[in-house]
Chains A and B, each alone.
Chain A
Amino acid sequence: MQEPSIPDIIQLIPLKSYLILSTALFVIGILGVLIRRNAIVIFMSVELMLNSVNLLLIAFSSYKSDPSAQVFVFFIMAVAAAEVAVGLAIIVMIYRNTRTIDIGFLNKLKG
């Protein structure tokens, strides 16, 4: 029996499940950003949201047999990598200056 291709494997699971999973991950990300005060955790939550979108793109790409979404995903991953580098650097600098990464203390910029 021939090995099934990756799109086929993806299509073993119904599209609805992907949607639910992706939405769940996204909401978890949002809640993480909203609720947590640790900058690193917020950062991770943002990554979670990004990747939930990636998952959704891949799922749709397989079901529609359209590879362009996969190209998008590669781009998103590359940009995210760059963004992580910058974001982490900012967090490190915040820590060095304030000795904390609790965003509750970063409230100097107000009207």
Chain B
Amino acid sequence: MPITLLVLIPLLPLIGFLINGIGFRHIPKGAVGLIGSLAALGSFAASVAVLLAFKEGGSQPMVVSLFDWIRVGELNIPFSFQIDQLSLLMLMIITGVGSLIHIYSIGYMKHDPGFGKFFSFLNLFLFFMLVLVLGSNYVIMFIGWEGVGLCSYLLIGFWNKNTDFNNAARKAFIMNRIGDLGFLLGIFTIIHAFGTVEYTEVFRQATGLPVGDHVVFAITMLLFVGAMGKSAQIPLYTWLPDAMAGPTPVSALIHAATMVTAGIYMVIRSNVLYTLAPETLEIVAVVGAVTALFAASIGLLQNDIKKVLAYSTVSQLGYMFLGLGVMAYSASMFHVITHAFFKALLFLGAGSVIHAMSDGPGGDPQDIRFMGGLRKKLPITFITFAVATWAIAGLPPFAGFFSKDEILAHAFEHNKLLWGIGLLGSAMTSFYMFRLLFLTFFGSFRGTSEQESHLHESPAAMTIPLVILAIFSAVGGFIGVPEALGGTHQLAEFMSPLFDAARQVSPEAFAATALTHSEEYILMAVSVAVALIAAAVAYVMYISRNAVPAPESEARTGLENVVYHKYYIDELYDAVFVKPIKTLSGLLASFGEFFIDLFVEGTGKIVKGLSNLGRQTQTGSIGYYVFAMVLGVVVVLFWNLLLK
């Protein structure tokens, strides 16, 4: 495989970033969009070429060393890329969905004065994300990990004249720092335990360790803390809903399809280590399941179209971690892929709605209480959005059905309680998604009449990516049709070599599924039935009865109030962490200022007072100086001749 082709994958977005970043305000808008999108498309083409070469070369994983980076004593960290099934799948998602979102942004951000800035940041994000998945060791992954965090910060706070948006950006960054600390400590522990950070070397050594090794438990837990921050799991999830402050394509690319799945990528990459630590997997599964249910329940009552999708993302990420926790690694990756399609599509569709709504003056263009009946005005958006809703709700035959069902089936096998939580969350998912669909596209328009007259379908640059993503959301599931439905699960077969080492350390955990086909049918039927019932409830509530969520001013009672206010988690964090730290640092600051001022200013004052005395002797009169000089000579002579 030509190395240049491989290097081009991350290099093209970097070049795009440099051109658009340095030429910001000088390059005309048309060229900016073209450069940014071409960089992404070029990267996609290179990824496809690498994938083909990889398949031709017998699907052998390979490490391409670019240069020596850090060499300290025994530790040697090369800058090298690893190509295997996992990184290729991630490459395809990142560059493929990324390219579509770049094209979409040309239409969506057209009237924004920061057009060039937006594209350069988007390219920079792609670069870091590609470095993250291409790196062949944990330190290079960490470069990408931090880089995407930076880009996320820059893009959430893209409209930086709004203080709330800036605060959201800071919140995302700080929350991620907490996770990053765990990740970093995990890397240090790996270096301490294995003396290297290269994946191949670490995993080779790890296969010699017994299951339940304490060091591996520590490593996996620390790495999982990093994943919690990046992939928005309880307790570090609160940044993701706030991150919706960024432009909608950013929410689609970074906060739905790619960056937030970095945690899942990391766990799958380290599958050997996680397989060696069943306790960690147990924690991962519980955190994932609880997050899936918790976030879904918040999503039930949200009225901001993007907030609903944000909580839905947190919830779906929870499903992926649930899958990882029950060792269904390839099922989780499957859900990453399908989720990237339908969630990016949902966000882009929401962007198309917001685009139409914000043209006329009126209320909040993101509030579904002011929408309704949009299906006639935005037919393409409506159809694609409906496909994505069908897919995320887990209804056959669209993508979400296959991936979510596979995770739930593994959860059922592992622990019935986790499966129950997952199923309940899945019902909620179906309800809030159909609620969103019905409130937005059905019924009659509830905004201002001026808004209504301005409603229009988005330009082709925006609808074409919608259509493409809708096709993938519809058929994407067919890469992983389970055996029970007469498929061969090509994805699981493709990814199988990744888990060879894990299979070696814990063969029983990878034993073929104990579920019979009839059990699998029942499980599928149950989850489909639950999703259909939830959808029907949503239909009755929001179409038959025409209910509209209560306005902000209306008082809510009991549980509804608590859920509507997101369980007051933000307020809780504010009271427990933010306020005490602020008070403490305020106290320390005033103390420090007092003592340091005392010392610094005291020194200054003493010097000033002494010099004030000293300058009295400088009278300017020559006679006085001469007298002083003579007196000095006399004193010196007196001292030398008479006293000695």
Contact = CB atoms under 8 A, between A and B. Distances in A.
Contacts of A107: 619-622
Interface stretch (B127-135, B437-445, B590-598, B623-631): B623-631
Interface string B606-640: 00000000111111111100110010000000000
Candidate in B617, B620, B622 with the most chain A CB atoms within 10 angstroms: B622
Nearest to A109: B620
Contact of A33 (B614, B617, B626): B626
Given A30-B630, A34-B630, A108 B623 contact: no
A4 interface: no
B623 A37 contact: yes
Given A30-B630, A34-B626, A111 B615 contact: yes
A90 interface: no
Interface string A39-52: 00000000000000
Given A30-B630, A34-B630, A110 B622 contact: no
A58 B619 CA distance: 40
B620 A110 contact: yes
B620 A34 contact: no
A75 to B, nearest CB: 22
Contacts of A106: 620, 622
Nearest to A36: B623
B622 A103 contact: yes
B626 A110 contact: no
B617 A104 contact: no
Interface residues of B, number: 13
B633 to A, nearest CB: 9
Contacts of A108: 620
Contacts, number: 29
A108 B620 CA distance: 6
Interface string A90-111: 0000000000000110111111
Contacts of B614: 111
A110 B630 contact: no
A34 B614 CA distance: 23
B131 to A, nearest CB: 64
A103 B621 CA distance: 8
A31 to B, nearest CB: 10
Candidate in A34, A103, A106, A111 with the most chain B CB atoms within 10 angstroms: A111
Nearest to B612: A111
Nearest to B634: A30
Contacts of B623: 34, 37, 103-104
Contacts of A103: 621-623
Contact of B618 (A30, A34, A104, A111): A111
A108 B619 CA distance: 9
Contacts of B619: 107, 110
B627 A110 contact: no
Interface in A57-111: 103-104, 106-111
Contacts of A37: 623
Contacts of B617: 111
A76 B102 CA distance: 90
Contacts of B618: 110-111
A30 B633 CA distance: 12
Contacts of B620: 106-110
A53 to B, nearest CB: 14
Contacts of A109: 620
Nearest to B620: A110
Nearest to A31: B630
A91 to B, nearest CB: 12
A5 to B, nearest CB: 34
Nearest to A106: B622
Interface string B174-209: 000000000000000000000000000000000000
B339 to A, nearest CB: 78
Contacts of B615: 111
Contact of A104 (B616, B621, B626, B630): B621
A33 to B, nearest CB: 6
B627 to A, nearest CB: 6
Nearest to A103: B622
B503 to A, nearest CB: 87
Nearest to B629: A33
A37 B624 CA distance: 11
A100 B615 CA distance: 27
A12 to B, nearest CB: 30
B68 to A, nearest CB: 63
Nearest to B626: A33
A107 B614 CA distance: 17
A31 B614 CA distance: 27
Interface string A1-38: 00000000000000000000000000000100110010
Contacts of A30: 630
- Counting from the closest, the 5 A-B pairs by CB-CB distance are A110-B620, A111-B615, A111-B618, A107-B620, A103-B622
28 contacts: A30-B630, A33-B626, A33-B630, A34-B623, A34-B626, A34-B627, A34-B630, A37-B623, A103-B622, A103-B623, A104-B621, A104-B623, A106-B620, A106-B622, A107-B619, A107-B620, A107-B621, A107-B622, A108-B620, A109-B620, A110-B618, A110-B619, A110-B620, A111-B614, A111-B615, A111-B616, A111-B617, A111-B618
Interface of B: 614-623, 626-627, 630
Given A103-B622, A111-B617, 12 more contacts: A34-B626, A34-B630, A37-B623, A103-B621, A103-B623, A104-B621, A107-B619, A107-B621, A107-B622, A108-B620, A110-B619, A111-B618
